Structure 1
């Protein structure tokens, strides 16, 4: 059964109504948090009632599903990184389980890489025995509100400027955001609110004024942020030829990820497979770029960037102006 955002908290509070739960989406941290919390709740933190299986251990599902709980209580089976290969073993155990048998083991599935075309996800969304719950990263004001709530629970205060900074600079899934929150708490003086400068120091955001930052925002379609970062980069003495080379590097990485999406991977899987890995604070921008750009558009951008590099080395318009025009062009979505 597909669970809406409004229904999610109610469903998580009543796991006894289901034989399985599938967590899917791009927020791997939230998927992990929900799985862990439910596993602990249903098993009552009894390690004898909890088993975890990797995707390569799915052949053990029927055996574990039929195992008895020595001291009573409902058992929990956690399936990590599930794919469509889980579908048939899952159907085998669930279809012989009566709907009214609420003592049967609860199967918790972590399916961060499942797309809407996944057979497993479609089955879960249509089955009355399974709750299919989407887990996606918060954005913008949602991030700010969530981080402020977490900090408030720890008695950490923020100035107004710091709150504004949070809404425009914090990105990533909940696991990554929690790691930042922990750093804020370690740094904080409970008597004095953290200000914007404190947050910048803690997160290392003072290094964001470089060409890479400008290019990432441009490829993600956000020209105002790209322009601001580009101005800062030029003020620090970075040159347009370096800009062109960084663009080419970033386009190659996007092209590799986009090719995997065309082959059937989810955007989250494609981004996770990029090597060297995408820095965690850049993952959302990178994922948005993968979604926005087609292979043809990326290749067209590569050719235009090679021409830019040649033009910057010749006599003619100032190289800074050429790069600025190119940055604005990149900021438009090319499909």
Structure 2
């Protein structure tokens, strides 16, 4: 059955075990998952990518059938899902699991999608579509944030923040967290400060791709590459983001020579490292030696020049470079 986002409160007493959340608004999805779907099912949360389950369907079979004396209720969240997952979960869709909830998180699904049709038509399944937030909604969220924090900000700057988030409240929430950290001892924020602090929505995947490259997380890199249709301009932008992050890494490694406490090095870095990124950065510092980081900086600069010349396929060049760097042996 279809439940619109404004009907979410009706989920409080639902007896359904399977939920399909599809669409492009990841921020709104996460909000609904955390505030409405987990409820009493947050004791044991298991997260999987669809690819993991497709490679080994026994992962799902074992989890959905298993019961524990210690974990009374659990939630299984399957992310980046598509019609492919239907064949695996179909055998269980008519069953009722009192102690388990299964959340299928998918991107946009066409009307002819088998997964979407199955969840829309079955009365025991819940299907919730999510669409991009308009700027009015994002403005309202931002305005409430500034009122709650008692920060002075113009309507023009609220519009600026919303426009840079491209219809996704997850982007907006990330930017508001940065602003909250930056204005801890301030009562207002300027346009220039907002421009310096916030990212254009397109830059999120650039940052994510660069971070996972430095963390040698090959699986995440492949997922990002498969989900995004990058062009030549994107390749240049990604190399610039990667260069910036490697320069920061080198500075941190140099500071770590004098200050042995890695937590202090990260906390005292200027400009400040966003709190959500600190563990990621510390992981990068442990993976890369100072010498290797400097070599990487040189190689990225070379790759950037090759891409800008445009003689060869820049996308293949960048992908090969990033995948090579992400391998543990490098």
- TM-score, with normalisation over the residues of structure 2? 0.54
Contact 1:156 1:190 in 2 (8 A): no
For residue 140 of structure 2, what is the aligned residue in structure 1?
145
Q: Any stretches of 5+ residues in structure 2 without a counterpart?
A: 201-223, 239-330
> How many angstroms apart in 1 are the aligned matches of 2:162 and 2:49?
37
> How many angstroms apart in 2 are the aligned matches of 1:269 and 1:21?
27
Change in Cα spacing, 1:93 to 1:145, as seen in structure 2 (3 Å) is same
> How many angstroms apart in 2 are the aligned matches of 1:204 and 1:111?
24
Q: Does the residue aligned with 2:47 lie in a helix, a strand or coil?
A: strand
Change in Cα spacing, 1:6 to 1:160, as seen in structure 2 (3 Å) is closer
For residue 293 of structure 2, what is the aligned residue in structure 1?
none
Q: Does the residue aligned with 2:80 lie in a helix, a strand or coil?
A: coil
Alignment of 1:1-335 (within 5 A): 1-11=1-11, 13-14=12-13, 16-37=14-35, 40-44=38-42, 46-47=43-44, 50-56=45-51, 57-58=53-54, 59-60=57-58, 61-71=60-70, 73-95=72-94, 97=95, 101=96, 103-166=98-161, 168-188=163-183, 192-203=187-198, 272-275=228-231, 277=234
Larger radius of gyration: 1
> How many angstroms apart in 2 are the aligned matches of 1:87 and 1:6?
27
Cα-to-partner distance string for 1:222-280 (whole Å, 9 max, x where unaligned):
xxxxxxxxxxxxxxxxxxxxxxxxxxxxxxxxxxxxxxxxxxxxxx9997232465979
Change in Cα spacing, 1:137 to 1:269, as seen in structure 2 (3 Å) is farther
Contact 1:31 1:135 in 2 (8 A): yes
What's the offset of the Cα at 1:193? 2.9
Contact 2:138 2:167 in 1 (8 A): no
Q: Does the residue aligned with 1:2 lie in a helix, a strand or coil?
A: coil
Contact 1:65 1:105 in 2 (8 A): yes
What's the offset of the Cα at 1:64? 1.7
Q: Does the residue aligned with 2:19 lie in a helix, a strand or coil?
A: strand
- TM-score, with normalisation over the residues of structure 1? 0.53
Contact 2:175 2:198 in 1 (8 A): yes
Q: Any stretches of 5+ residues in structure 1 without a counterpart?
A: 206-267, 281-335
Contact 2:8 2:36 in 1 (8 A): no
C-alpha RMSD over aligned residues: 3.2
Q: Does the residue aligned with 1:91 lie in a helix, a strand or coil?
A: helix
Change in Cα spacing, 1:19 to 1:204, as seen in structure 2 (3 Å) is closer
Change in Cα spacing, 1:52 to 1:201, as seen in structure 2 (3 Å) is closer
> How many angstroms apart in 2 are the aligned matches of 1:123 and 1:73?
29
> How many angstroms apart in 2 are the aligned matches of 1:269 and 1:83?
17
What's the offset of the Cα at 1:79? 1.2
> How many angstroms apart in 1 are the aligned matches of 2:184 and 2:99?
49
What's the offset of the Cα at 1:87? 1.3
